[in-house]
Amino acid sequence: MLPQSITFSLDRLNRDFWWGSSSEKRRMHLVNRDTVILPKADCGLGSANWKALRVELLAWDRGSKWAIDNGSRVNLWNDTWFDNRPLRDCIQGPLPQAETSRTVRTIISSSRSWDFNNIPFLCPPDIRKAITSIPLSSSTNHEDRFVWGLTNNGYFSTKIPYYALLNCPNLSPKAD
């Protein structure tokens, strides 16, 4: 994620380029900033808007998650695949060093069901129930994929990140 100071500097450099300004000489702005960042298809100049990009990345970071297929690409503890947060956030206490690189694949049985026998401690019942409610593909040939976790269908919707960024209390986590 780009820090806010960097996005501000990038936007300033971008504006100075389009308007011909420099640190020594300021020029009159002949084109409105909104026109500069408007896409070319909408009769704008199509210049990058780094601040908006930062907000979009923040929204994606808050709303994206892994969809499990074969479980080989997803870290069991640290990746967001469970309940729109890392599983590690739900477990109290230290995690053995050997567990840090464990993938979700290690808790999927050969019959394509969830198997908690490989975890070296007892997983709380509410977490086990939530994990077992996650459907598994019948095929092991498909890779795990990134999806938008704030809709039922996994597709991105622009209204959801807007409310997510506002931390709207009325936001339904599975709105369509």
Specify whether the CB–CB gap between 90 and 79 falls below 8 A.
no
- Mean pLDDT estimate for the chain: 76
84 vs 22: which has the higher pLDDT: 84
User: Which pLDDT value is given to residue 33?
Assistant: 65
| Neighbouring residues of 44: CB distance < 8 A, sequence distance ≥ 6 | 34, 35, 36, 37, 38
Read off the pLDDT band of 134 (50, 70, 90): confident
Phi-psi region of 154 (alpha: psi -120 to 50; beta: other; left: phi over 0): left
Task: State yes or no: pLDDT of 20 exceeds 80.
Answer: no
- 75-132 pLDDT, tens digit per residue, is 999 998 888 788 998 888 888 888 889 999 999 998 999 999 988 878 889 999 989 9
52 vs 9: which has the higher pLDDT: 9
Task: State yes or no: pLDDT of 163 exceeds 70.
Answer: no
Read off the pLDDT band of 49 (50, 70, 90): low
- 56-70 pLDDT, tens digit per residue, is 666 667 777 888 989
61 vs 176: which has the higher pLDDT: 61
118: Cα within 13 Å, side-chain hemisphere:
13
User: Which pLDDT value is given to residue 148?
Assistant: 78
- 6-16 pLDDT, tens digit per residue, is 767 777 777 77
Tokens of 159: 């209204």
